[in-house]
Amino acid sequence: MSLYKAELRRLGKRRVTRLTTLLGLLVLLGIAVGTFFSNQKIGPEEIAAAAREAEQAYQGTVDSILEERRRCEEARRTGVDAEQYPQDCSAIAPPTRESFPTEWYLPSTFEFRAEFESVLAGWALILALVAFVIGASFVGAEWSSGGMSNLLVWRPQRIQVLLTKLGALLTGLLGLTVLTGVAWFAAFWLIATLRGSTAGMTSGAWQSFILTGLRGVVLALVAGVVGFALASLGRNTALALGAAVAASIIGYVGVGVVLTIAEVQFVEAWQFTTYLDAWLQKKITLVDWNYCAQAVGECEPPEKDIVWQHSGVLLGAVVLITLGAALWFMRRRDVA
């Protein structure tokens, strides 16, 4: 317990922990502030103004199209520039009024039920990045500074030391994600109330958001564990960050290019970003558009669903492999 307490204190005192957390919070704050100022509440006045704007746009379009038709008829009659216009000038027809719906001319407004899901995914990804850096640095800097060696002289139980550090890290990250998550819900509820709408929030919608939020918390913890494990394996923070960048490039760009050249169906199913999306959005439907490229007549492109359970298995496997390797090497390798 004393080691756990010490590690929790160490985590809080570390400069990287503080700076990375601060940076993450500033980005989240920026998103919230930006959303607040780029949206506004819709009332009768805004609707009337939008209707007027829609009508003006409609009239403007009708006028310009009628003018174009007149030029077409003129060209047909005189023969000048006739090739620029269709044979039948009545084909140049003005749009209907319905093509200019009033909603298109309404100012941006934040509808909690429709938009919070994607905002929540943004929060989860930012927190995951913060957690990865903090996790990697927490153990990586200990290795490179000699702190781990010092600690093991005090507590010569390698696995216990590493797992206690991980436990302290996860406690800190859990606290950070839960606190920021609650603040995120509150902030966007407030934004929706003041600059949008909270209409349509049923218990089912709340449940869905809360589950997405929980998956976001899990994603941040997984990122923290993976960063921690990679830095422990490489005994260096930079190695974990480098591995993450390399995995991102190879796992997204590299795989994408190679599999596209190989004409593999559903290339996205092999890219890890798809699984991140599926984890946060519950389900991603991939469509093979190439399938209909050569088709004659009606063609239904095949689809493939990636659901959050698939992502869960993948995230679990990544955690098991990286953490397992880190523990194995911690047990076996000398502390030079």
Partner 1 sequence: MAHRSAGVGRTVTGGNRASRLGANLAPVLEIQGLEKTYRSRRRGVRRALDGFDMVVEEGQIHGFLGPNGSGKTTTLRTLLGLIKADGGRMMIFGEEVPAALPRVIRRIGAIVESPQFFPHFSAYDTLSLLADAGGVPQRRVMEVLELVGLAQRARDRVKSYSLGMKQRLAVASALLKEPKLLILDEPANGLDPGGIREMRNLLRDLADSGMTVVLSSHILAEVQLICDSVTIISKGRRVTAGPVAEVVARHSGTGLRVRLEAAADLPLAADVLTQAGAKVTVHSDHLMVDSVEKPAWVTRTLAARNLYVSELTPVTADLESVFLELTETMPVPGQHRQVDQSVVVGDATAGRWGE
**Where on the chain is the footprint of partner 1 (CB under 8 A)?**
2-3, 5-7, 9-10, 13-15, 141, 145-147, 149-157, 334-336
Min CB(247)–partner 1 separation in Å: 25
Specify the residue, 13 or 77, whose C-beta has the smaller distance to partner 1.
Answer: 13
Min CB(231)–partner 1 separation in Å: 15
Specify the residue, 211 or 335, whose C-beta has the smaller distance to partner 1.
Answer: 335
Specify the residue, 304 or 333, whose C-beta has the smaller distance to partner 1.
Answer: 333
49 contacts: CB under 8 Å, gap ≥ 6: 105
Site of tokens 């509820």: 189
- Cα–Cα distance for residue pair 182/22, rounded to 1 Å: 17
Min CB(12)–partner 1 separation in Å: 11
Instruction: Judge residue 272's burial from the number of C-beta atoms within 10 Å of its C-beta, 0-12 exposed, 13-18 middle, 19 or more buried.
Output: middle
Specify the residue, 152 or 307, whose C-beta has the smaller distance to partner 1.
Answer: 152
Specify the residue, 2 or 90, whose C-beta has the smaller distance to partner 1.
Answer: 2
Specify the residue, 77 or 332, whose C-beta has the smaller distance to partner 1.
Answer: 332
Give yes or no for a contact between 82 and 76, defined as CB atoms under 8 angstroms apart: yes
Min CB(225)–partner 1 separation in Å: 22
- Cα–Cα distance for residue pair 76/92, rounded to 1 Å: 13
Min CB(334)–partner 1 separation in Å: 4
85 contacts: CB under 8 Å, gap ≥ 6: 71, 72, 75, 76, 92
304 three-class SS? strand
108 three-class SS? coil
Instruction: Judge residue 213's burial from the number of C-beta atoms within 10 Å of its C-beta, 0-12 exposed, 13-18 middle, 19 or more buried.
Output: buried
Min CB(137)–partner 1 separation in Å: 11
